[in-house]
Structures are given as structure tokens and as C-alpha cells.
Structure 1
């Protein structure tokens, strides 16, 4: 299992060297976008709308938009310094609470924790202490340039860390539109709903649930492969040096003609015509 972070978890005077591993994975089927005409993958380029040209990564800077089209530019050195100051800190468990006190809306992503060298005993100590007390730890840490609030709890025989949202990251329910303020439910309808819930109540078995759409999509893809309903992207034509040279010479010749093209001299009116017009 790939290690994505190494550090220490501390609670009180106990320090546990640990490794962090991603506990979940996204199994969405990624579909590419092709040009319908030639079946080639579409590319997306970073362009500047003012300069009207493609921008390379080394020419891009990061900035915070504090008002419409008003930015504070941040140097990479400044960002790296802030990140390093936070990353150098160990993951410190600051509080212990009960898991049921945290609403699931706060949970974000799960990571397995494994003991690093010399951390096996302290790891087992924290695991047993959490099991016996029925508590979870609240901690702070840096992951991928972002400070994270997290919980540490026991999952089967392993410590798991789950990042959770900060309170200001959870939108207020007051902003949810069209929520009825009162129930106005008929008692008979409520009893029927409760009866239906009781009939469908069971123990949670995660193996029972599958992604039916993903399975059907994979079956469709495999069927098309078996029936040879596949396509190959058209390769971009390689530049021909001779053709490029001729085009360059022709372009240079055309440009030269435009520069050296004589301008027509303005037609001067003769005095005779002027006098004639005056006498009339």
C-alpha cells in the first residue's frame, strides 16, 4: 500500500511514528473526449485571453482574487514557507470525544495509519485506549498544502484517520430553499411510513450494495471491444522539412512584396482646371 505521508501522532507525552495510506479509491470510469471527425483526443491548453497565446507553466503565478479583477499575487517561496511551517509540526491530538457527537456531514476522506519504525508499541497503546474508552481523537495536520482537521479512531484492528471539514466549510441549512417549516402530516400517512421503514430495516452489509451503472458500463465497453467496435486516434502528421522550408520561403516572399510594393502617388489637380472652375 502506497505511503502518502510520514510523521508522528502525539497525545500528551506519547509520540507515535506513523505512515499514512489512502483508505478509499475512486472507481469512476473515466471517459475521454474525442474529436468526432478524426477520433483524436481533445487537448486543453492554458491560454491568456489578452495576449491571445498559450501560456507555459513557468509563466503562471498564483493569486487571490479579493475583488472583481483585483488580485494579490503570492510567490511560490512565500507559499512554500507557510506550508513548511505547518508541515513540520507533528499531528497532535488535542481532544477526545465520542464518535456519535460528530455529524456525518463533517466527514471528508479516510486514511489508514500504520506504525513506522519503532512505533508499534505506542500504536497498540493508543488503539487499545481508544477501544476501551469508546472515544476518538481530534487532531490537526497538513495534507497537500492544506491544514486539515481530522479524527483518529479504531477501524477493525487498525487506526484510521478521517479528515473532517472545519465548521465554516459546512454551509448553513438556513440557505436551503423550499424547506417546509411545519409537518402538517396526517397521522395515518405517518403510521404507514413508519410501517414501511420497519419492513425495510435490516443490518448494514456493505457487500450487498454495488454500483450497477458502473457494472453495466463496463459490460457495454467489453461488448464493443469483443465486436471490434473500436477506434484508433489519428496521428498528428509529422512536419515535412521540405514543405516547411517552401512555406517559409513563400511567406517571406509575400511579406517582402508587401513591404516593397510602391505606393500610388496622389493625383494633383492642375491649375487650368482650377482657373476654369473659378471663371465659371
Structure 2
């Protein structure tokens, strides 16, 4: 597995050197956008609407818009220094809580944790302690320039870090529109609904569930590919150097042609001289 973060995590005086690895992967089918006319992939270029020109990467700076149309520019040097200062800190477990006390709405992404060199014993100790206590650890960590809360728990035989949202990142349920304030249901309706839930209740088996849309999309792509319903971009016609040279020469000739002025003397009309016939 690819390592995306290296550091250490601690609880009390116990320090565990660890590595983080992504626990999930995005299997969405990536579709490209083509020009319908010639089937060429569409480019998305960064342009400046004021200068009306394409902007290169080295010409881009980051800024915070503190009010409409007004920005504070943040230099890379300042951001990198701030990032380094925080990333060098060890990730400390600040609390231990029951996992059921954390609502799933807070969860974000999952990462497997593996021990670095010399961290095997401390890793095993934390894993065993979490299992026996039936608790999870709460910690803070900087990942990709963002400080996040994290839950450390046991999954199968590994420690897993789940990043979670801060409370101010979760919107209030009170702001959801059109939610009925009271349950206006009859006893019969409720009994029927509970009966249906009981009939559909089972043990969670993740292997049972598949992404039907993704599978159908893969089948559609394969059927079109097998049936040779394939398009290729129309190649852009390249101008030859000869054409460019000839065009430049002709333009030069046209540019240097003397212009006819109105002061030119008018051309004389041709006259014909009649001769006498010989007798």
C-alpha cells in the first residue's frame, strides 16, 4: 500500500511511529468530455478574464476573499512554514470515548495505520487496549494542509484512523426545510412499518452489496467497444512550412506594391491614320 503520511501517535508516555495508508479507493468510472463535432477531448484552461490570456502555474497565487472582491494574498513560504510547524508535532490522543457516542454524520475518510520500524510492540499494545476497553481514541492530525479530528479504532487486526468533521462543519438539522414537527401516524401504520422492518432485518454482510450502476456502465462500455462503436479524435490539420512561407512572401509582395495615385497622367487614346487607296 502507498504511504500517504508518516509520523507518530502517542497516548500518555507511549509513542508509536506509524504510517497511514488509504483504506478505501474510488472506483467511479471516469468519463471524458469530447467535442461532438470531431471527438477531441475538451481542454480546461486557466485564463484571466481581465487580461484575456492563459495563466501559467507559476503566475498563480493563493488568496482568501474576506469580502466580495477583496483578497488577502497568502505566500507559499508562509503556508509551507505553517504546515511544517504543525506536521512535525506528534499526533496525540486527547480523549477516549465510546464509539456509539459519535454519530456517523461526523465521519469523513478512513486510513489504515501500520507501525514504522520499532513501533510494533506499542502498536500491539494500543490495539489490545482499545479492544479490551471497547473505546476509541480521539486525536488531531494535519493531512494535506488541513487540521482534522480523527478517531483511532480497531478494524479486524489493524488500527484504523477515521478523520471526522469538526462540529462547526456539520450543518444544523434544524435548518432542514419541511421536516414535520410531529409524528402524525396511526397505530396501525406504525405496526405495519415495524413489521416490514423486522422482515427485512438481517446481519450486515458487505459482500452482499454491489454498485449496480457502475457494473451496468462497465457492461455498456464493453458492449460498445466489442461492437466497434469507437470514436477517435479528428487530427488537427498541420500547416506546412511551404504554405506559411508562400503566404508570408505573398503578403510581403502585396505590402510593398506601389499604390496607384490619382496624379497619374491619363493615358492617351490611340488614333488611327487612314491611308488613301492606290489607283
Match of 1:9 in 2: 9
User: How far apart are the structure 2 equivalents of 1:251 and 1:159?
Assistant: 73
Deviation at 1:148, TM superposition (A): 1.1
User: How far apart are the structure 1 equivalents of 2:51 and 2:68?
Assistant: 20
Match of 1:211 in 2: 211
Match of 2:54 in 1: 54
Unaligned runs of 5+ in 1: 263-280
Q: Deviations over 1:191-225 (max 9, x none)?
A: 11111111111111111110111111100111111
| SS of 2:168 mapped into structure 1 | helix
Q: Does 1:144 align with 2:144?
A: yes
Change (3 A) 1:102 1:228: same
| SS of 1:161 mapped into structure 2 | strand
User: How far apart are the structure 2 equivalents of 1:226 and 1:139?
Assistant: 51
Change (3 A) 1:105 1:250: farther
User: How far apart are the structure 2 equivalents of 1:55 and 1:251?
Assistant: 32
| SS of 1:50 mapped into structure 2 | coil
Deviation at 1:184, TM superposition (A): 1.3
Q: Deviations over 1:210-252 (max 9, x none)?
A: 0111111100111111111111122333453333444556667
Match of 1:42 in 2: 42
Q: Deviations over 1:39-61 (max 9, x none)?
A: 11000010111111111111111
User: How far apart are the structure 1 equivalents of 2:96 and 2:131?
Assistant: 12
Deviation at 1:253, TM superposition (A): 7.5
User: How far apart are the structure 2 equivalents of 1:204 and 1:132?
Assistant: 23
Match of 2:72 in 1: 72
Match of 1:98 in 2: 98
User: How far apart are the structure 2 equivalents of 1:113 and 1:24?
Assistant: 13
Change (3 A) 1:79 1:39: same
User: How far apart are the structure 2 equivalents of 1:246 and 1:84?
Assistant: 59
TM-score, normalised via structure 2 length = 0.88
Match of 1:221 in 2: 221
Match of 1:128 in 2: 128
| SS of 1:4 mapped into structure 2 | strand
User: How far apart are the structure 2 equivalents of 1:248 and 1:67?
Assistant: 52
Q: 2-11 vs 241-250, which deviates more?
A: 241-250
Match of 2:113 in 1: 113
Unaligned runs of 5+ in 2: 261-279
Match of 2:157 in 1: 157
Q: Deviations over 1:109-151 (max 9, x none)?
A: 0000001111100100000000000010001111011111101
Aligned residues: 260
Which one has the bigger helix percentage? Answer: 1
Change (3 A) 1:195 1:143: same
User: How far apart are the structure 1 equivalents of 2:6 and 2:248?
Assistant: 56
Q: Greater Rg, structure 1 or structure 2?
A: 2
Matches within 5 A, 1:174-185: 174-185=174-185
Change (3 A) 1:246 1:150: farther
Change (3 A) 1:261 1:224: same
Deviation at 1:167, TM superposition (A): 0.4
| SS of 1:150 mapped into structure 2 | strand
Match of 2:277 in 1: none
User: How far apart are the structure 2 equivalents of 1:126 and 1:61?
Assistant: 43
What root-mean-square deviation, in Å, do the aligned CA atoms of Structure 1 and Structure 2 show?
2.0
